[in-house]
Chain A
Amino acid sequence: MSTETIEAPVVKESEALLSRRRRKFLTDPLNDDNPITIQVLGICSALAVTTQMKPTMVMALSVIFVMIFSNLIISLLRNAIPGRIRIIVQLAIVATLVTLVNEVLKAYAFDVYKQLSVFIGLIITNCIVMGRLEAFALGNKPYDSVLDGLGSGLGYSWIILAVAFFRELWGSGKVFGYDVMGAIGFESFSANGLMVSPVGAFIVLGFIIWVQRSKTGYVEH
């Protein structure tokens, strides 16, 4: 036996439920390795659903759910999936989970379901989900994969919620449908139509990326 196998970092069986290594799975995607602003994944839905806070919240929760469970399932099956057909297996699992979310929303939150229209279905092709499955779940243990899915989902969520906050605030003066501008006595506030239009989404996200990257010091070449 070579010495390499002995020196390889062996994860102990009794590792704490939230050890330092595992906490990194949760915290890294929030800032330093954010799926949207740094890895540039999942931009489509980040922009499309963010005109108001409420649908954005639903979208964020749906993505977190799909990420956690697809990561878990793929991770459990990782030794059984032949490499050649892994993409189609992943797509099938993700599509099943998304169908589940879709039906639940249709049954219990029909107005939001109408608002999100095709974008719930498009979680299937959300690059974050596929990206994490490929990059993480295929090679790691189930519990770690769940944490990774949760972390990436949260990283995605806070960005889209931030975009939605500014777009709803400037686009209609409201947050979660509550008239903030009216409440703080700013009666003459006139809504900015550009914010509600797609253009607003690009520009708000552009600013968020600018601020976030200036803070983390990440520079793209």
Chain B
Amino acid sequence: MDLLNLGIKSIFIENMVFSYFLGMCSFLAVSKKVSTAFGLGLAVVFVLGITVPMNWLLNEYVLNEGALSWLGADFVAIDLSFLRFIMFIAIIAAMVQLVEMTIEKFSPALYGSLGIFLPLIAVNCAILGSSLFMAQRDYTIAEATVFGFGSGTGFFLAIIALAAIREKLRYSNVPDGLKGLGITMFITGLMGIAFMSFMGISI
């Protein structure tokens, strides 16, 4: 039940985009068409679901204070947590590469549709942000996995919704200075208000 609760929380209440502003760059840049937004969203869910548990393992067995104790009593006092940023980003970059190669091998069709977005994901803040949140909040491995998929799904929903709105927006008459980024910020704000209505829900 706790896991389900965490899943709901990470998808709706603490949505990556609307409450932490993570992944805004790609959220704004790749939301002009629903089909491309769908591809990016799918790739993000995929990569988040893999990297967050991976980074959890890394955090638990290498980086945390005393995490190296499985190597022997001499290593108990070592605290490598200052290496967290570098290790996390390295894992993320490596995993993205790996995922890209795997998809290319086993599903060329999916690779074709995700293609250009996969490498870009390595520098998507949502990915690194989720890993850092996971480390900060001391999740267990199960919670970390649910959190990874949940935040990915939250991003997926948000970017598809925005892309759908922007496709319709093309037919409306927006003031010059507001075209593009400006009006998108306002829409995102309004969507944020909508997502605020999920606040306080717990199962």
Q: Using a CB–CB distance below 8 Å, which chain A residues touch chain B?
A: 37, 40-45, 47-48, 87-88, 91-92, 95-96, 98-99, 102-103, 117-118, 121-122, 124-127, 130, 197-203, 205-206, 209-214, 218-221
B interface bracket (residues with beta carbon within 8 Å of A): 35 or more
Main secondary structure of the interface of B (DSSP, over half): helix
Contacts A45-B125, A48-B21, A201-B21 aside, 17 further interface pairs with beta carbons under 8 A come to A40-B25, A42-B25, A47-B24, A48-B20, A87-B122, A121-B85, A124-B128, A125-B124, A125-B125, A130-B123, A198-B21, A206-B186, A206-B189, A210-B177, A212-B177, A214-B177, A221-B179
Verify B192–A121 contact, CB threshold 8 A.
Answer: no
- Which of A88, A118, A122, A206 is the one whose CB lies under 8 Å from B136? A118
Q: Which of the residues B25, B133, B179 comes within 8 Å of A44, measured between beta carbons?
A: B25
Which of B22, B28, B180, B181 is the most central at the interface, judged by chain A CB atoms within 10 Å of its CB? Answer: B181
Contact of B123 among A43, A125, A213 (CB under 8 A): A125
Query: B129-156 toward A: CB 8 Å interface, digit per residue (1/0)?
Result: 1001100100000000000000000000
For the complex, what is the distance from the CA of A126 to the CA of B86, rounded to whole Å? 15
The answer for the CA separation of A199 and B189 in the assembled complex, in Å, is 5
Q: Are A198 and B19 in contact (CB under 8 A)?
A: yes
A199-B177 contact given A43-B25, A122-B129, CB 8 Å threshold: no
Hey, which chain A residues are within 8 Å of B82, CB to CB? 99, 102-103
Q: List, in ascending order, chain B residues with CB within 8 A of A42's CB.
A: 25
Query: Complex Cα distance A48/B126, Å?
Result: 13
On chain B, the residues within 8 Å of A130 by CB distance are 123
Q: How far is the CA of A203 from the CA of B184 in the complex (A)?
A: 10
Cβ of A87: which chain B residues have Cβ within 8 Å of it? 93, 119, 122-123
Can you give 6 A-B contacts (C-beta < 8 A)? A40-B29, A43-B24, A121-B85, A201-B189, A206-B189, A219-B176
Tell me which residues across on chain A come within 8 A of B176, comparing CB atoms: 213-214, 219
C-alpha spacing A43/B127, complex, angstroms: 15
Report which B residues bind A (CB closer than 8 A). Answer: 18-25, 28-29, 82-86, 89-90, 93, 119, 122-125, 127-129, 132-133, 136, 175-183, 185-186, 188-190, 192-193, 196
Q: Is the CB of A203 within 8 A of B189?
A: yes
Distance A127 CA – B123 CA, assembled complex (angstroms):
8
Total cross-chain contacts (CB, 8 A): 135
- Bound: A47/B196 CA distance, A: 17
A213→B177 contact, CB < 8 A = yes
Question: Are B177 and A219 interface neighbours, CB within 8 A?
Answer: yes
A214 vs B178: C-alpha distance when bound (angstroms): 8
Bound CA span A112–B22, Å: 20
Contact residue among B24, B185, B193 (Cβ-Cβ distance under 8 Å from A206):
B185
Which residue in A92, A197, A202 is a CB contact (below 8 Å) of B196?
A197
Chain B residues in 8 Å Cβ range of A202? 185-186, 188-189, 192
With the chains together, A130 CA to B179 CA distance in Å?
26
